[in-house]
Amino acid sequence: MSDRKEFRDLAPPERFHEVIDSLPIDPGTERVGLADARGRVLAERVDATIDVPGFDRAAMDGYAARATDTFGASEGDPNVLPVVGTVHAGAEPDVAVEAGEAVEISTGAVMPEGADAVVVVERTTERDPGDLPDRSDGAGEGTERAVAVETAVTPGENVMLAGADVAAGERALGPGERLTASEIGLLSALGVDEVPVRARPQVGVISTGDELVRPGEELDHRAGQIHDVNTYAVAAGVEAAGGDPVVYPHVEDETAEMADALTEAAAACDLVLTSGSTSASAVDVVYRVVEERGELLLHGVAIKPGKPTIVGRIDDAAYVGLPGYPVSALSIFRTFVAPAIRSAARLPPAERAALRGEMALEERYEAGRRRLLPVGLVTDGAGGTLVYPVDKGSGATTSLTEADGVVDVPADTNYLAAGEAVTVDLFSPETRPPSLFGVGEDDPVLSQLLDRLDRPRYLARGTRPALRWLRDGIPDVVVLAGPLEGKRIAADTADDVGEGAVELGGWDREWGVVVPAGNPQDVSGLADLVDRDLSFVNRGTSSGLRTSIASALAAIMDERGIDRHEVTDAIHGWDHSARAFESPARSVAAGDVDAGLGLRATASKLDLGFVPVGTQQVRAFAAADRTEKPAVAALGEELETGLDDALAGLDGFDPG
């Protein structure tokens, strides 16, 4: 009898929110010093124990005096007062102000006894003591300074009274307030050196799977090993949500080991997050452990990506099992888990940002589950926002960085039309479309040119997809490679760049067959691939290099009078294709194959042998309505003035 656990009734997203929000995530409170208090949430009320300020102080530089001695003063008829002393900030006054006298005072200084106002220095003029009027009471006699007061002031003017900011016994800050620089400044003024704050939820982060290897460790690709993406990505999300991530070693898919790891994490943390091992297959053991050690509340959510999500409790800790694929894991985390962590930390909901745009392409998929569709943004020639799908599958980690947000598609929708208005929930309020959006060939020269631009985004999809995207009006720039004739790709693709594009410039690159160092098989050209039993790695059909080798093989077809399939079927590995331009050469370097399609520059970089076959044009084209975009213009300028620098040191590259 099978021990598979089937997904039966998938919980609607609303139910998932309810259950996760009800989880007992309570980190309690702690006391922290002011140096560590920024961003924390106050757990208790703080009352002032002293007056702030604790004394009457001058609010401006000027002269402390009795307000009655300034009455009637004006610029044309000032009141001249003797200056009987000076008071600086941080010093106790050693002088008192009698009727008809003034004291020079600095901002923040203690008001001297007898003074009740300050005349700002800009409304006064130094005078000779001889200008003092005769006084029957003898005030000012023997003074060496005098000041002309050119304006009248009222009692208390330019003076901050003791307790005017905060008075002793007053409520200064209340529980739930998030401590920013302003609040920390107030606490400092009150003399508070540590405060009670809401503790950060301790969140255990555990990735599961026999295939995982931590970044920095060597991978065994033959054994299907991959780097652990989720641990650090989820931990970063926990920290951003106000939690304190506790990273545990990854756990293999074995019930006893999984049980020990989850029990250990549950004892130390308020919330435990795992990723992977949550689906319904027999190898996925997390849900069994949760059932045995705690309580399984939900298993499966009607949302894509993220269906195999688990919610439950292990001992006294809350538990959420995220899917294993990074896109799915982070989508579920952002949508359901991060809000729960923020709530436990008593932080307000994350600031949300959304914008409206138009779908650049139609998008079809099976209805039945709510979908969080990752999308990218690009500004069109008219300044509008185009929205394009970024959906390379839940296992594609580049979807995490190529997308700007998601379109929340209801469960009963299976079609978004090109041109349809949609709302994009941005990943961050700071998200904005890239300065330049390009699609096309991957190339080392292009990489250097893009490095010189501000915030470009480039998708190395190959020449054929680039042409399709250009025809659909999505990218600002496409970069094409192959036997180009003016603005046309080779006839075997029959794809036309068209009138809607403007050539910005380009370069030539030498291509051929990459072989091991020293060329031990003595490969001399493409004919050897056809006639000999040599293993070979090709590029994908979207690549311009694939177009070039197909064109070159046409000469062999014509010479021998055979058709294309006879030639390609004779090449051992013709259909074994790699996506990136260095990938075939790296297979050669690893000893996996005898030869691969590639560039001379790649062979030199990897210290491999190279058999030249031809030279290929690489050209950049801009959409005609985007040439005025600053980043497009900057790329054009780099192609004109900076190309030689980009080509320097690359074998087999020349200006086009």
Rg (the chain; Cα; Å): 37
pLDDT band at 604 (very low <50, low <70, confident <90, very high): very high
Q: What average pLDDT does the segment 504-522 reach?
A: 96
Query: Which one has a higher pLDDT value, 398 or 441?
Result: 441
pLDDT at 470: 93
Least confident of 1-5, 45-49, 54-58: 1-5
DSSP 133: P
- CA proximity to 242, closest of 151, 178, 171, 181: 178
SS3 per residue for 138-163: CCCCCCCCEEEECCCCCCCCCEECCC
CATH 3.40.190.290: which residues of the chain?
444-655
Mean pLDDT of the chain: 89
Asked whether residue 401 carries a pLDDT value surpassing 80, the answer given is: no
Query: Which one has a higher pLDDT value, 504 or 276?
Result: 504
The CATH number assigned to the domain with range 29-53+164-198 reads 3.90.105.10
The CATH number assigned to the domain with range 354-433 reads 2.40.340.10
Least confident of 384-388, 397-401, 563-567: 397-401
Task: Give this prediction's pTM.
Answer: 0.77
Q: What average pLDDT does the segment 316-329 reach?
A: 88
pLDDT at 515: 97
Q: What average pLDDT does the segment 389-402 reach?
A: 64
Q: Are 253 and 210 in contact (CB under 8 A)?
A: yes
pLDDT at 571: 95
The CATH number assigned to the domain with range 13-26+201-344 reads 3.40.980.10
Query: Which one has a higher pLDDT value, 164 or 486?
Result: 164
C-alpha triplet 484, 488, 491: angle, nearest 5°: 85
pLDDT at 2: 39
- Give buried/exposed letters for 530-565 (b at 16+ CB in 10 A, else e): beeebbbbbbeebbbbbbbbbbbbeebbeeeeeeee
How many CB atoms are located within 10 Å of the residue 401 CB? Answer: 9
CATH 2.170.190.11: which residues of the chain?
57-160
Asked whether residue 498 carries a pLDDT value surpassing 90, the answer given is: no
Percentage with pLDDT > 90 across the chain: 63
Q: Are 325 and 394 in contact (CB under 8 A)?
A: yes
Q: Are 640 and 483 in contact (CB under 8 A)?
A: no
Q: Which helix (H) or strand (E) holds 319?
A: strand 317-322
The CATH number assigned to the domain with range 57-160 reads 2.170.190.11
pLDDT band at 506 (very low <50, low <70, confident <90, very high): very high
Say if strands 46-47 and 171-173 run parallel, antiparallel, or are unpaired.
antiparallel
* % helix, strand, coil for the chain, step of 5: 25, 30, 45
Asked whether residue 29 carries a pLDDT value surpassing 90, the answer given is: yes
pLDDT band at 142 (very low <50, low <70, confident <90, very high): low
pLDDT band at 278 (very low <50, low <70, confident <90, very high): low
CATH 2.40.340.10: which residues of the chain?
354-433
Q: Which residues contact 185 (CB under 8 A, 6 or more apart)?
A: none
Query: Which one has a higher pLDDT value, 272 or 498?
Result: 272
Q: What average pLDDT does the segment 465-473 reach?
A: 92
The CATH number assigned to the domain with range 444-655 reads 3.40.190.290
- 91-104 confidence digits (pLDDT tens): 999 999 999 999 99
CATH 3.90.105.10: which residues of the chain?
29-53+164-198
Asked whether residue 75 carries a pLDDT value surpassing 50, the answer given is: yes
